Amino acid sequence: MSRILMVSSEAAPYAKTGGLADVVGALPYALQQLGHEVAVLIPRYRSTFRYATRRVTGPFQVQLGPYPWYPSVFTTEQPSPFYFLDLPDFYDRDGIYNDRSGEFGDNDLRFGMLSLATFHFARYHFRPDILHCHDWQGGLVPAYFKLWFAGDPAFLGAKTVETIHNLGYQGLFPRSSIIRVGLPEWLYRQDLLEFHGGISLLKSGLVYADAITTVSPHYAEETQTPEFGYGLDGLLRARKAQLTGILNGVDYSQWNPATDPHIPSNYSVEDLSGKAVCKRELLNEFGLSHAPQDRPVIGIVSRLTGQKGADLILEVAPYLFREDVYMVVLGSGEPYFEGMFRHIRDTNPGRVGLRLGYDDALAHRVEAGSDIFLMPSRYEPCGLNQIYSLKYGTVPVVRATGGLDDTIDGETGFKFWEYSGYALLLALEDCLRAWKDTDRWTKMMRTGMTRDFSWMTSALQYDSLFRTLLHP
């Protein structure tokens, strides 16, 4: 079996802003079950201080650009695959990428340090066969490897893999960042790191990695189109032979209505009775206690942004609430959309429950208590909430893009293709008609609950990719 070193900016539960953390938090354990040795290196942010850790090594010198730095590496007190790169000047801050003032101006240095320090850590503590880098924050690892470490005896035969979790985030910095992160200036070429007058750290990974993956098969195809490629579609088409779409899994030990400690009544595919209890308590929690139990509840757990289709929801709301439906919304995002969701709540009194912010336990209760889960994303590399919904017997209505298209079919939910309010409204009308057919609806619920999107399925595909890279 292989030794796999993952490099990421996030890993649940230690540091999380989105789905990247869930992937990096769960995939290593699935790979370990297949016999691989796995280590994960993330920064030691202030948010990780509440976890008991011990120093593994350091301080040691890392020459990043013209300056020497002296990071250390910590790991958890209990055996685990997770390691933390400690450098207070870079990581001991209120946020991961930004604070209230905006994006940190030295993010190129912060994640350049993570990428370069990976090799210093790996040389003495975990010599890898595979360096698995995630998103733009790990994008410099393949470049550093090819330029400086590929011939090093400590890394002979190693291969690099770059995973795109969301191509919309590319790690864009000024041209001067090449020197700041210690790379030669000749890399500022259109076929290398140059990107629209600056540089892209994600492009670095896409150019130099031995293999590229995305988080769903459909998204792998979409990234090669101008609509979803964000200026990198040409590069991804050129590297099509090295590009693979592997659908993310979910952690059913955390997301399972039969065992979920966050919901008021557990239930299963064999006994659905607890779902009615969850629905009643959800309506109470959102201040909709008067709502009748025999009407559908639409649930939304989302960032309130254009990417997530918030504009389509606003467009269809006046027509949707002509039907006798109720809606609960949990999320936060762009001020405009937050304000508009407040407007929807205020103009439909007693029909809409709204919580701005994020609450993980409440997210579980929304999944369990809703009848329908709405996810009309403009694009969605993988998506996890629609998979959670299936497990909780909550029928999804999604736009057929990325992982939403890969995970939802006519037996488990409803899809629409055109990105328009009209197309979304037609899908919702189909869904509400199905809701009235109790036998059909119950069958859809139970079919979705039996679908398997566990991490082991994904890990087996990564295992196959790693084997191919190491033994072509």
pLDDT at 318: 92
**Domains, the chain, ranges and CATH?**
3-249+456-470 (3.40.50.2000), 273-451 (3.40.50.2000)
**Is the CB of residue 164 less than 8 Å from the CB of residue 202?**
yes
Q: CA-CA distance, 55 to 106, in Å (whole number)?
A: 25
Handedness of CA 35, 17, 390, 383 (dihedral sign): negative
What band does 347 get if pLDDT is binned at 50, 70 and 90? very high
What band does 256 get if pLDDT is binned at 50, 70 and 90? very high
Amino acid identity of residue 18, one-letter, is G
**Is the CB of residue 395 less than 8 Å from the CB of residue 414?**
yes
242-to-9, 188, 236, 277 alpha-carbon distances in Å: 24, 23, 9, 49
The mean per-residue pLDDT over the stretch 391-397 comes to 98
Amino acid identity of residue 286, one-letter, is F
Q: Is 1's pLDDT higher than 90?
A: no
Q: Got the DSSP string for 351-376?
A: TEEEEES--HHHHHHHHHH-SEEEE-
CA 99 to chain centroid, in Å, comes to 20
145-to-140, 160, 217 alpha-carbon distances in Å: 8, 8, 27
What band does 185 get if pLDDT is binned at 50, 70 and 90? very high
The mean per-residue pLDDT over the stretch 196-225 comes to 97
Rg (C-alpha) for the chain, rounded Å, is 23
Encoded tokens for 7 = 């490099």
What mean pLDDT, rounded, does the chain reach? 96
The mean per-residue pLDDT over the stretch 4-28 comes to 93
Q: How many other β-carbons are positioned within 10 Å of the β-carbon of residue 465?
A: 18
pLDDT at 65: 83
Q: CA-CA distance, 57 to 464, in Å (whole number)?
A: 33
**Is the CB of residue 404 less than 8 Å from the CB of residue 386?**
yes
**Is the CB of residue 285 less than 8 Å from the CB of residue 314?**
no
pLDDT at 405: 97
**Is the CB of residue 360 less than 8 Å from the CB of residue 381?**
no
Q: Is 458's pLDDT higher than 90?
A: yes
Q: What's the DSSP call for residue 378?
A: S
pLDDT at 412: 98
SS3 call for 434: helix
What band does 444 get if pLDDT is binned at 50, 70 and 90? very high
**Is the CB of residue 263 less than 8 Å from the CB of residue 365?**
yes
Beta carbons within 8 Å of 472's beta carbon, 6+ residues apart: none
Q: How many other β-carbons are positioned within 10 Å of the β-carbon of residue 393?
A: 25
Handedness of CA 359, 364, 369, 375 (dihedral sign): positive
Q: Is 122's pLDDT higher than 90?
A: yes
Q: CA-CA distance, 272 to 268, in Å (whole number)?
A: 6
pLDDT tens column, 288-332: 989 888 999 999 999 999 999 999 999 999 999 988 899 999 999
Residue 449: phi, psi to the nearest 5? -70, -20
What band does 79 get if pLDDT is binned at 50, 70 and 90? confident
Q: What is the pTM of this model?
A: 0.92
What band does 101 get if pLDDT is binned at 50, 70 and 90? confident
Q: CA-CA distance, 254 to 375, in Å (whole number)?
A: 21
pLDDT tens column, 159-170: 999 999 999 999
**Is the CB of residue 76 less than 8 Å from the CB of residue 42?**
no
The mean per-residue pLDDT over the stretch 126-130 comes to 97
Q: CA-CA distance, 1 to 34, in Å (whole number)?
A: 8
The mean per-residue pLDDT over the stretch 3-18 comes to 94
Q: Is 376's pLDDT higher than 90?
A: yes
237-to-38, 144, 146, 370, 414 alpha-carbon distances in Å: 31, 24, 22, 40, 31
CA within 13 Å, CB half, 201:
30
Q: Is 240's pLDDT higher than 90?
A: yes
Percent of the chain whose predicted confidence (pLDDT) is above 70: 100
**Is the CB of residue 42 less than 8 Å from the CB of residue 24?**
yes
What band does 99 get if pLDDT is binned at 50, 70 and 90? confident
pLDDT at 200: 98
**Is the CB of residue 352 less than 8 Å from the CB of residue 327?**
yes
The mean per-residue pLDDT over the stretch 224-249 comes to 97
Q: CA-CA distance, 267 to 362, in Å (whole number)?
A: 17
Percent of the chain whose predicted confidence (pLDDT) is above 90: 92
